């Protein structure tokens, strides 16, 4: 969304300069803060459309900032971490992060994640028709097609796909999917999910062994790619 206001909370001047140049070149309004306290103030006063948050801030732990934000705001948050930062990505998502990237990161990938997060912040009308590339889902008719060809899904396959679409562009954790589909008792049964995701890929992907629609985030969950 061109013109969206993006707040970057990061203590590294070089990262802020890079993001300022990259984001402004894409037509985004850029706001920056080098410390967590200033970032929370900017989030409250400037009301950004998206926040890019570094976990390794000097004054306040990034997770604490994220939890504070989630007490009063649903603004999309993309987390930046360094490779050796000792935190579970599932913990980040459960705390309210919309996505994450590891430093050093690719600017084109970050821009794609930004677009997906902003799109996700605008709720998908589950009564409407959803399209991503060749995939088309008519929720009112409960029909699915690929490149115009009807695809028959089981009830469970359809329910998994519906949840992935609800969070399109965002990582959905394995635990979340298992709880939604099979209930809280099934949270540890990741094999259930792998079987059904495999079946969905066989029906929806051109090359199920190299999926381009339903992507695995190793050890975390799955992401439906927005085309």
Q: What is the pLDDT of residue 81?
A: 84
Q: What is the pLDDT of residue 226?
A: 81
73-113 pLDDT per residue, tens: 889 999 998 765 556 788 888 888 989 888 888 999 999 89
- The least confident of 47-51, 123-127, 140-144, 178-182 is 123-127
Fold assignment, 129-224: Arc Repressor Mutant, subunit A (1.10.10)
Omega of the bond leading into 104 within 30 degrees of 0 (cis): yes
Where along the chain do its domains lie? 5-120, 129-224
Q: What is the pLDDT of residue 51?
A: 97
CATH of 5-120, one of 3.40.50.1100, 3.40.50.11540, 3.40.50.2300, 3.30.450.40: 3.40.50.2300
State both tokens at 196: 């059904």
Closest CA to 23 of 51, 54, 63: 51
- What's the whole-model pTM score? 0.73
Q: What is the mean pLDDT of the chain?
A: 89
Cα 31 to Cα 82: distance, rounded to the nearest angstrom: 22
Q: Phi first, then psi: what are they for 148, rounded to 5°?
A: 85, -10
């Amino acid at each position: 969304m061109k013109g969206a206001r993006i707040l970057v909370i990061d203590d590294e001047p070089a990262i802020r300069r890079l993001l300022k140049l990259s984001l402004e070149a894409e037509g985004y309004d850029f706001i920056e803060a080098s410390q967590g306290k200033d970032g929370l103030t900017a989030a409250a006063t400037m009301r950004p459309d998206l926040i890019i948050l570094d976990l390794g801030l000097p004054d306040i732990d990034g997770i604490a900032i994220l939890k504070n934000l989630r007490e009063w705001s649903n603004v999309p948050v993309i987390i930046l971490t360094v490779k050796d930062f000792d935190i579970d990505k599932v913990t980040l998502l459960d705390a309210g992060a919309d996505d994450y990237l590891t430093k050093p990161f690719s600017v084109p990938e970050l821009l794609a994640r930004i677009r997906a997060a902003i799109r996700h912040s605008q709720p998908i009308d589950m009564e409407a028709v959803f399209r991503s590339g060749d995939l088309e889902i008519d929720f009112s008719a409960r029909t699915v097609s690929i490149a115009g060809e009807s695809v028959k899904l089981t009830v469970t396959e359809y329910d998994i796909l519906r949840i992935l679409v609800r969070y399109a562009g965002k990582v959905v954790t394995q635990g979340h999917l298992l709880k939604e589909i099979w209930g809280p008792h099934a949270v540890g049964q990741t094999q259930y999910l792998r079987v059904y995701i495999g079946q969905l890929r066989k029906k929806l992907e051109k090359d199920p062994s190299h999926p381009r629609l339903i992507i695995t985030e190793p050890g975390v969950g799955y992401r439906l790619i927005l085309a």
